[in-house]
Structures are given as C-alpha cells and as structure tokens.
Structure 1
Amino acid sequence: MVNRASLRSDAMAGLSGTIILLPQAVAYAHIAGMPPEYGLYAAIIPVIFAALFGSSRHLVSGPTAALSIVVFSTISPLAEPGSTAYIAYVLTLTFMVGLMQLALAFARMGMLVNFISHSVVIGFTAGAAVLIAVSQLKNFFGLHYGSGGEFFGTLSRFAAAAGDINWQVAGVGAVTLVAGILTKRHVRRVPYMIVAMVVGSVYALAVKAMVGHDAGIETVSEIPRSLPPLSAPMLSMEVLHQLGAIALAVTLLSLTEALSIARAVGAKSGQHIDGNQEFFGQGLANLAGSFFSGYVSSGSFTRSGINYEAGAVTPLSSVFSACFLVLTLLFFVPLARYLPIASMAAILFMVAYALIDVKHICAVMRTSRRESAVLFATLASTLVFQLEFAIYAGVILSLVLYLERTARPGIRAAVPAPGEGQYHFVPQRDEPDCPQLKMEFIDGELYFGAIDHVKRHLHQLEEVHPEQKHLLILAPGINFIDASGADLLAEEARRRRARGGGLYFHRLNEQARSTLERGGQLGDIGQNSLFAIGDDVIGTLYPRFDPKVCANCSSRIFRQCRERLPDGSPR
C-alpha cells in the first residue's frame, strides 16, 4: 500500500540505487560495446516498465554484466562496436527479446525457467565473468589491438601486444583497483565504485600534470546531457533472420536471470513471485527500451539486493531511481569525461570477480557430480564457443539432467508396517522377502521416458525371484501415468496372470486410475486389483497364494502366515 511513509522509504531506496547504478550503467555499456550513455538510457525507461508491470516489489532491472558481454560477443561480428550500425543491431535485438518475452508471458510459460538448472546460471555467469576480465586487459594496460568476444583469441592478442604495455596507464588502473578493493573491504557503507572512479580520475589528472601531456591515458567519451532519444529497430527480414537465434538465447538468459533474482529477494521479503507476470514486465521493459535507446535489460542482483536492504516498500523505488538518474543525466553526467578508460577496466575486473560465485560452485561440487558436470560444461562452453551456443548448451544440459532424473523413478522394496491393525507399508530394511509376493514402492511418473527403466526392473525381479508370481505396487508416489505407462502395466498384469500370479496396486490416485480405465488397460489389471488406503491388502491377497509354498516357508512376514495357510488349513 502506497502512503507517505512508503513513499519516503522508496525515495531513499531509489536514491541509494542511483548512486550504485551510475558507475555500473556506464561500465556495462562499455562491456556491451555501446557508447556510455546507452547504459544510462537502459536504466531509465526499462526500469520503470519492469517495476510497474512485474510482480516483484524489490526487483530492479536494467543493464547487467552477463547480458552486456552476450550483446558484445554476438553483435560485434555483425558490426563495429559503438558504430551506428552496431547500435541499430543491438536495439533491434532488444526489440526481438521483448517480443519473445511477451509471447512467453501470454503463453503462460513462466514455469519454463524452472527447467533451467541453477548450475547453468552459475556456470554461465562465471564464464561471462572470465570473458569480461579478459576483454578489459587491453584497456587496463593501455594496449591497442582488435576487439573480439572469443576467449583464446583475445588472450593471444594480449600476449602478442604485451611488450607495448603503457605502465602509466596500468598505474592508473592499479590505483583504481586498490582503491576499490580497500573501500569494499573496509568502508562498506560507501559505494566502492564511486570511490574507485574518483581516486582513479584524480590520480590520472595528477599523472598528466606531472608529465605535461596525456601520457596515453584515454578517458570515457563525453556523455550528452539529454533524455533518452527515440529510436526504432530495424525490421528487415534479413536482420530478423540474423538475430533470431541470438534473440532466443538472450531471452532465456534474461528471463532466467530476472526470475532467479526476484525469487531470491522474494524469499527474504516473504513475497510470492508470479513467473508469468515477471515475464510480462520484462517483455514490456525491453520492448519499450528498444524505442527509447535502451539495450537489453534484466534483473540486477546487486541493485535488487541494495533496494531491499535500503528499505524499499513498493516498486515505486525503481521509479524513483530512474527519475534520479534522469536528473543526474541532465546535470552531473558531464563529469564522466574525466573517467579514465583504465579505471573503467579496473572497476570491471571487480565486477567480474563478484560474478564468480565461489561459494555456490564449491557447494555444487560437494553435493552433486551431475550438477558439477553441467556447471563446468556450461562454463567451458562460454569460453570455447559463441555465447548464444553456451546458453543453448546449458539449457539442453539442464533438460537432459531433468529428463534423466524423471526417466529413472525411484523403486524401493517394501514390507507391511509392523503392529496390529496396521494396513500400510514401509521400506524394507533387514526383513526377509515373501517367496510369493513382491512389494515395491514406485516414486515418479510412469511416462514414455521412464518405461524402459521400470520395464527392466520388473524383468530383473522375475529373473532373480521367479517364484514371486505376485507383485504389489505401492503407488502413492505415482502422480501421473501416460498411455505408454498404462500399456506397460497392462502387459505386466497379463504376464503375471499367465504365470499364475497377479499385479496389484495400493493407493493408486484417481487420475492414474482414470487413465487406465479410459485406455482399456484396467480390464487387463482388474478392478479388484486396486486397493485404497485402509484396505486390508494382505488379508485379501493371502488366499491367492500357493499353500504348498507357504507350508514350507520360514519367513512368515505376514500376520496371516503365522495363523493359517492360504487355503484356511491350520499351521
């Protein structure tokens, strides 16, 4: 609810966000190969739309490091970074991303990002961080060689030019880096980027004054004092075809980034995040941004975290931040022309370092080999292949991991629960098996992808224990059965009946039972083979067992076994 107190809190949170945003936006535009003002433009109109039409109260959108390096890596082969053609390509990409995000929102595909493993995001972000750091080596050391988004090519060009390092430029970068690190460690309340920029700029001015010339220390180009100008995407079929695959990859990355951050902050604030609504807000933000000179935006973890910690109450904090940035753009941004490019590179080194989530990488390595493989495969893909391919590779690996898990539903041996009057079952530990009835929990969906795993297990049961002609499936964990799963169960029922046994189910849910009934498979299984919660399953099945086998059985795991034989004869 908006009131005077919330407006005050949102205004203060918005001001805090603007202080952080100013150096970030310029730095991210530099990564993206865009003129510095475009980073600021991307933090005005898109931020307002994402805040007002998204679902999160604290998510702050705008340019991000990961998206910026993707933009540079994918668009730089098409046009010279910073050129008019390059800017047009980037704004067209932003327009296409916005349309795709809106399409996913209208199709209610907010759950789509649930299938992208968090390990993919961590791995991709770490790889992007390495690319960002490598791309800034030439600016930090004052070198001049061709730009490119590839990792090994950039390293080789740096190695070839390393003999021409400008140590005065490198000194500016080093002073900026040290100032930023010390501020971040020891004066946490002060924005370390601002301090690093000021210290680097003052040091650069001092060096120029001492040597009497610019010493090769280049500075950021002057940022115009104006509101975001109107722009229009290129809508020719040739351009749309060139950018189609890139736009889809950026769409997936942008939405994953935004929704992950929104949920992380929402977990702290106790807010439920609507994925479809967030897709809608991000789509409108990018669509509007493409017409107001803003390049691809998404949620920012740093700014969103600061927004929450600063006491933001409603999404109006992001609107206030955008308004404060407009004032900054009109009255204070000309000071940016004193910022050395080497200082900007040093700031981006710190940004890159912060993007590598060492804590989560170590946690993944300790807990799961599969997730670790996905993480490092995604990271390696960002360094070896084009970034849009790395995104696709990560998404495909996530889906493969998910499908591999669902294709192997858990199957556990079971026994009746101990005690009088108990009619449920528990996992088997050291208890002996019944020689005639096998009891198994199946936890997972019986769909076409899981059929082979379940079928092989059922055949192994027959090979290992051919005398166990009866099978009881404990089904509370089976949430879904498709046509292939229904056919498998009907086949198993016919096979066991032909051997003189049967297939039975305990606690099969209504949806699964309805599937069997509609498909005709329930006729093969038998209505009297389905047992509900509270039914005396063993009491019903025991008379169907072979009395001769029971007479010689020493296991006697059922209460009925100890009282009489299946034909009613006393022990």
Structure 2
Amino acid sequence: MLLTLFPFLRWFPLTRETLRADLAAGVTVALVLVPQSMAYAQLAGLPVIYGLYASFVPVVMASLWGSSNQLHTGPTAMLSLMSAAALIPLASPGSPTFIELSILLALMVGVLRVALGLARLGVLVNLVSSPVLVGFTNAAALIIGLSQLNKLIGVPFPRSDSYLSDLWAVVMQLPQTHLPTLLFALGAFVLIRGLERLVPRLPAVLLAVVACTAVSAATDYEQRLEVPLEAVADPEAARRIKTYLETTAELESLAAAVARKGAELRALQAQQESAEREARIALLSGEIEALRAQAEYLKQRNNRHQVQLYAMVMNRSQDTGGAALFYREGHLPPGVVSDGRRWRFSGTKEGRIVFSAGGTVVGRVPSGLPAFQMPEIHWDALLTLVPAAFVMALIGFMEATSISKAIAARTGQRVDVNQELIGQGLANIVGSFFSAYTVSGSFSRSALAARAGARSGLFAIISALAVVAVLLWLTPFVYHLPEAVLAVIVMLAVFGLIRVKPLVHAWRVERGDAVIGLVTFAATLAMAPAIANGILVGIVLTVLAYLVKIMKPRAEILGRRPDGVLAGIEAHGLKPVSECVVPIRFDGSLVFASVAYFEDIVLEARARFPKAHTILIIGSGINRIDASGEEKIRELAQSLRQGGVSLAFSSLKKQVREVFEIGGLIALLGKENIFDTKEQAMQTLLARAGGG
C-alpha cells in the first residue's frame, strides 16, 4: 500500500554508488535539458522562460510518482507543437492569453491522465497501432522541423489554419534570408555534430549554446530599435505600418469582446431555463462565432502585412542633431545620409515600432522561481480544447511508456503503465500551478539518462535542481542567445525521430496496416497545424479495419492436399473432399459482428454442394461466442435440417463448448454431430455418408 501511494519509496535504501551514479546522470541530463527546454518553449509559442518553468516542478512530480527509474519528464518537441497548434486559433503566440491557455491545457492533460491511470485504462494506448504511430511521428517530425525554417533564415512565419501554405510563404521569402542568422544556424549545426562525433562525452548542445551566445554578444548581432510611428518618415511605409498597428489593436479589441460575451454566456447558462434565456444564449453564441470569424480574417490579413513589411528594407538617417528617421531603401530625400545598415520591420511592442538590422535573440529572461498560482480558467475555450487535450494525453503517454519499456527491456525493471499515467498526470496538474505548460516523457533525455547510468528517479530531481540554479542566477546570460541556434537544436532532435523502415516492413507483413500508416502520415501533414486530427484519422481507420476483420474473418471450404492435410480449396486449387460432407474452417469469434458472414459462408457451401448431407464447421479458430452467435447457429441448424442437411462442429475450445451446452445447442445439433477433432469428424461423417 505504501509503495502504491508513494512509489518513490522503491529507491530506498540509497547506496553511495547509487547516489554517485544518479548525480552524474542528473548533471549530464541537465546540460541537455536547459537548452532543449528553451527551444521547445519557443516551439510551443511561449517565451523561453516557460520552458525552464516546465523543467522544474513537473520533473520532480513525475519522478516521484512515476514507475520508471530512468524516464525523464519535461518539455518535448511533439507536445510543444501540439500545444501551439491547439491554441493558435484562440490567441496570438506569446500573448498573455496564449500563455494562460497553455497552462490551462497542461492542467486538462494532467487531469485526463490521472483519470485514465486511476481507472486502470492504460490499455487505451493499444488503440494506436505501430504503423499509425510511425506515420504520425514521421509527419509530426517533419512539421516540427520545417516549422523552424523561418528562424534559420531570419524571416516571419505566418500562422494560419494551413501549415503547408504557411511553409510555402516562408519558402517564398528565401530571397530575404538574413545571412548572419543563417551563419549562426550553420555554425551551431557544425559545432554540435562535430563535437558529438569527435568528443561524444562533452555536452555538445550546451557548448554550442554558450559559444554562439558569446559570439552574438561580441558582434552586436541583435541590432534592435524601438521607435514611435512618427520616426517612419516615408509616407508609404508609415501608411502600411499604421494599418498593421490598427489591425493589431482591432484584434485585441475583438479578443476582449469575445471574453466579455463568453462570460455573459456562461452566466446565462447557469440560470434557470426559460424561453428568453434560450433565445439570449442562441444570440450570444452567434455573436461570439461572428467575432471569432472576423478575428480570424483580420489575423490572416495581418500575417500577410507582416510578411510584406519585412520584405520592405528601410534606411535610417544618421543623427545630425535631430531625431533619426526611417525611409524605404531607394527613397532617401536628397542630402539625407543613411547609417549604412539595412533595417527591417520586426513587429510592435506596446504601440511602438520594432526595427532590426540584425538577427533575433532570446532577449531578457526574468530570473527567479515560478510563483504558486491557480491556472486561469478560460471557460469559453474549455470545451474547444478537450479533443486536443485527450489526444495530447494519449500521445504524450505513449511517448513516455514506449521509452520506459525500451529501457526496462535492458534494465529488467517492471513498468506499471497505469502508475506512469498517474505520475505524468500529476506532473502536469501540479506543474500548471507553477506556470508550466504540457510536459511528457522525453525520448532523448531518458535515453541519455540510461546511458549515463541513472539508477533511480533521483537523477531527474538533480536535473531539476540544475534548472533552479539557472532560474536563480544564470538567466541574464541567455539574453544574446540567437533563436536560430534554438531552431537547430529542435531540428536535430526531431529529424532523428523519422523512421521509414517500420513502414516498409509493415508493407511486407500486412499491407493494409501500412496503408493506414501512410494515410495517417498524409492526413497529419494536410491537417497541420492541427496535427491531433491526423492521429485521430489513423485511430479511426485502425478501428474500422479491425471491425472489418472481425466482421469478415478468414473462412473457407476445405479440400485435402496430397499429404493428407486439410487446406482451402480456393487458396490451394484443391478438389472437394466429398460432395456429401463439406468441411469449413472459420477462424474468428462468433459474435454479433461476424454472424452474418458466418451465415453467408455456410449458405454458400450449401449452394455449391447441393448433394451435401453434412456441413462441418472446424471450430478450432473460434475463441468466443456470444448470444447472437448462439442464436445464428440455432437458426442455421433448423433451416438446414428442413433441407435434409445436418450442421456439425469439431475442435471446439472449452469456453465455446460450454456455451453450446448451456444454450442447448448440443441437444439441438445432436451429440453425434459434435466431434473432438477434425480428423475424427471427417472419418465418421464420410463413413456415415458411405464414403461420399
């Protein structure tokens, strides 16, 4: 009972050797966790500090209440992308509302996981077949990796309901590539890959982050200015930027209006039913939908404006006693001298225009630990987020259990999937009270912990304490870290998840499963950024394929091969055993879903062999029979008997024979028509038919 309530008690007693191994593994994992968590936070549309928040309390909770000693929980690429995809239709990435929704989503995912764990429903992971998971993972890895392309070349990434069109918009901006940004990305890639190959013991990712941050600070890579709109002296540029500012303000106003009307709608729904209340609810619901549609239209327009503004190169006049002014390149007034740098529109901040002549860096990261606070509940978004929360709970749990089982195969530790659900759920629930977004088990960090010799979950707590040290004392040093470097870290992590061989193997073994995996891959790409819908398509197709197999199991009329073995007459081109005795093999459960097909195969045999006296069902493949199956056998036996044909069974399993006895089928069919083996049945029935 104590181990059930407090699973971490299994770590004790801790030996000096265990402590030494966990300390080394914890420090090793922390060197990867810190840069990874910041990169994944940006992937989730959040400031990098929230990646560090998600690497503290959730890591500790999952370690204490999980079941695997080597599983490391925290931000992951998959759930970061899924979190962003679920929330982008509801709020702008990085905005206060977006951050609140990210934390709320973590709470929802946590509650769902704990509920599934307490209900012992860890078996739900079996709904996702291996080809479906591989197809989804491959597509998600491509989506995640390519979503970082804009950060490698330093251009905007418009966010809409179509990921492929957004990606194409980035590709069309290749001529505007910011060369220093691309050089930082290439440098980080070469440094990480080179160190991993030449000196694998060193923390390549962390060293690349430190080196690139130092170079960025030394070269003034950012070159950023915040100016009022009045500083844009070029009339055309000022007009375009003003339009962007006005649309942004209108979007904020629409978001506030939706929030107000949502609160009014919830208040109405809590009132007693009346005709007036129902009419008002219908009216408010329509108004909210109209406001959201208008906001979506404005967001798309602002996305286009942002891309157009970035493509517009600006020159800044040198300060000569007066204020610096910005003009479009090639439109400087006579006598006005440029400062020699090419400035581009980078966004807005508190009503001011942000221009950049360099690249994008992480910027100021607040120091200190996250405060305990109740997650903000956005009731109007709650129902909208339930499907995404369920899929994220399922996918994240599959990530955690798959790596746990892979490690357990080497260590011999038993993994309790339901306990792992509870641990992962508590990590998200408690983490949401400390500003953490959705977390799950990490493939890369867990594998690293296992290689580093982690003995107990204490290693994860040590890695979390390292994050605490970063939050308390090291955040000022992160300011100049180029976002392009974080993008490289994400791409290197996710492209390693792409696997083609499992789908090729599935194609050889069972083409139907492979086709479902490929459809899942295509659907995930097509439906991005809502990639959760892609795996739902795969799950639905898997269930349908399973139902089809249940409804139409393998069933065939048998003949005898030259070696005397019974085999399908169609599959092996055999002659019938007899015109009087027709053996049929039925390899499936006789349940409501398959009784119609069972009837069809029996009637087909009756039609093909009009002289038949007996139809023998070889039932070694029948594992189960329900009330529908029992009733169908009764109907068929009575119908065939009227035509002078007996229905016989052989090789029935114990549980099926018991149903025959309880339901009175043996008495109906006659004990002389129930046989222990197929050979006994064939010999007796052929002899009874006079050799047939």
Task: Name the TM-score, length of structure 2 as normaliser.
Answer: 0.72
Asked if 1:52 corresponds to 2:64, the answer is: yes
Classify 1:371/1:209 alpha carbon distance in 2 versus 1 (closer, same or farther; 3 Å).
closer
Aligned to 2:41: 29
C-alpha separation in 2, matches of 1:312 and 1:472: 60
Q: Distance in 1 between matches of 2:672 and 2:689?
A: 19
Is 1:465 paired with 2:477? Answer: no
The verdict on how the C-alpha distance between 1:78 and 1:466 changes in structure 2, with shifts beyond 3 A counting, is same
Q: Does 1:395 pair with 2:528?
A: no
Partner of 1:511: 655
CA distance in 1, matches of 2:185, 2:660: 70
Q: Residues 210 and 272 (structure 1 numbering): CA distance in 2 closer, same or farther, change over 3 Å?
A: closer
Identity of aligned residues (%): 33
Matched, 1:350 2:484: no
Secondary structure of the equivalent of 2:220? helix
User: In structure 2, how many angstroms separate the alpha carbons of the residues matched to 1:468 and 1:133?
Assistant: 65
Question: Deviations 1:152-196 (Å, cap 9, x if unpaired)?
Answer: 231232144333221121111121122223333444333332233
Return the alpha-carbon distance in structure 1 between the equivalents of residues 31 and 612 of structure 2: 72
Mapping for residues 426-445 of structure 1, pairs under 5 Å = 427=567, 433-445=577-589
Aligned match of 1:110:
122
Does structure 2 retain, via aligned residues, the 8 Å contact 1:487–1:521? no
Q: What residue in structure 2 maps to residue 319 of structure 1?
A: 461
Counterpart of 1:171 in structure 2 is 183
**Contact 2:637–2:646 (Cα < 8 Å) also in 1:** yes
- CA shift, 1:138, in A, is 1.9
1:525 is aligned with what amino acid? L
**Conserved? CA contact 1:253–1:391, under 8 Å:** no
| Structure 1 residues 334 and 446, CA gap change in structure 2 (3 angstroms) | farther
Letter paired with 1:134: L
Q: Which runs of structure 2 are paired with 1:15-414 in the superposition (5 Å)? A: 15-148=27-160, 150-205=162-217, 207-208=219-220, 215-385=357-527, 386-411=530-555
Q: Choose which of 608, 621, 636 in structure 2 pairs with 1:477.
A: 621
Q: Deviations over 1:198-256 (max 9, x none)?
A: 34334434543899998512211333332232232233532322322222222222222
| 2-structure distance, mates of 1:209, 1:399 | 53
- Unpaired stretches in structure 2, ≥5 consecutive residues: 1-10, 224-339, 342-355
Alpha-carbon separation, structure 1, partners of 2:381 and 2:209: 38
Q: Any idea what SS the aligned residue of 1:217 has?
A: coil
Secondary structure of the structure 1 residue equivalent to 2:377? coil
In the TM superposition, what is the alpha-carbon distance from 1:27 to its structure 2 partner? Answer: 0.9
Letter in 1 for 2:112: M
Superposition CA RMSD, Å: 3.1
Amino acid aligned to 1:384: A
CA contact (8 A) 1:134 1:151 kept: no
- 1:441-494 Cα offsets, whole Å, 9 max, x none, are 333322222233333322332233333332333323322112222222223322
Deviation at 1:345, TM superposition (A): 1.6
Which stretches in structure 1 are left out of the alignment for 5+ residues?
A: 554-571
Which residue identity lines up with residue 190 of structure 2 in the other structure? V
1:487 aligns with 2:631: yes
Going from structure 1 to structure 2, the CA distance change for 1:113 and 1:164 (only over 3 Å counts) comes to same
- The TM-score normalised by the length of structure 1 is 0.86
**Contact 2:37-2:75 at 8 Å conserved across structures:** yes
Would you say the 8 A contact 1:91–1:232 is kept in 2? no
| Aligned-pair CA distance for 1:69 | 0.6
Of 463-472 and 340-349, more deviation after overlay is shown by 463-472
Aligned counterpart, 1:569: none
Of structures 1 and 2, the one with the larger relative CO (CA 8 A, separation 6+) is 2
Label 1:200 to 1:538 Cα distance change in 2 as closer, same or farther (>3 A). same
- Summarize the Cα distance change of 1:122–1:539 in structure 2 as closer, same or farther, 3 Å threshold: closer
The amino acid of 1:80's aligned partner reads S
Say which SS state the counterpart of residue 355 (structure 1) adopts: coil
Asked whether the 8 Å contact 1:200–1:343 carries over to 2, the reply is yes
Aligned partner letter, 2:456: T
Alpha-carbon separation, structure 1, partners of 2:679 and 2:167:
70
Q: Decide whether aligned partners of structure 1 residues 450 and 135 sit closer, same or farther in structure 2, where only a CA change above 3 A counts.
A: same
What does the per-residue CA deviation read over 1:389-429, in whole Å, with 9 as the maximum and x for residues that have no partner? Answer: 2232122122223223333323356679999xxxx986567
Cα displacement string for residues 545-566 of structure 1 (whole angstroms, at most 9, x for unaligned residues): 333xx2xx5xxxxxxxxxxxxx
Contact kept, 8 Å, 1:150 with 1:383, in 2: the verdict is no
Equivalence for 2:8: none
The structure-2 alpha-carbon separation of the partners of 1:499 and 1:534, relative to structure 1 and needing over 3 Å to count, comes to closer
Q: Report the Cα offset of residue 528 of structure 1.
A: 4.7
Residue 77 to residue 316, structure 1, CA distance change in 2 (3 Å): same
Opposite residue 99 of structure 2, the aligned amino acid is I
The AA in structure 1 aligned to 2:619 is: A
Partners of 1:391 and 1:296 in 2: CA distance: 18
Q: 3-state SS of the aligned residue for 1:332?
A: helix
What does 1:513-552 align with in structure 2 at a 5 Å threshold? 513-519=657-663, 521-532=665-676, 536-538=680-682, 540-542=684-686, 545-547=688-690, 550=691
Which stretch shifts more, 264-273 or 107-116?
Answer: 264-273
Mapped partners of 1:38, 1:142: distance in 2: 23
Q: Distance in 1 between matches of 2:555 and 2:468?
A: 60
Partners of 1:383 and 1:83 lie apart in 2 by 26
Amino acid in structure 1 at the alignment position of 2:623:
N
Shift, 1:366, TM fit: 4.1
Contact 2:157 2:166 in 1 (8 A): no
The CA distance in 1 between the partners of 2:173 and 2:679, in whole Å, is 80
Compared CA separation, residues 546 and 375, structure 1 to 2 (3 A): closer
Q: Deviations over 1:103-156 (max 9, x none)?
A: 222222111111211222222222222222232222111113533473223123
1:539 deviates by 5.5
Distance in 2, Cα, partners of 1:330 & 1:210 = 25
Q: 1:490 to 1:133 in 2, by over 3 A?
A: same
8 Å contact 2:153–2:178 — kept in the other structure?
yes
Quick one: which amino acid aligns to residue 376 of structure 2? M
Residue equivalent to 2:232 = none
Q: Does 1:497 align with 2:675?
A: no
| Distance in 1, Cα, partners of 2:188 & 2:161 | 25
Closer, same or farther: CA 367–12 of 1 in aligned 2, 3 Å: same
Which residue identity does 2:501 align to in structure 1? Answer: K
Q: Which residue in 1 is equivalent to 2:19?
A: 7
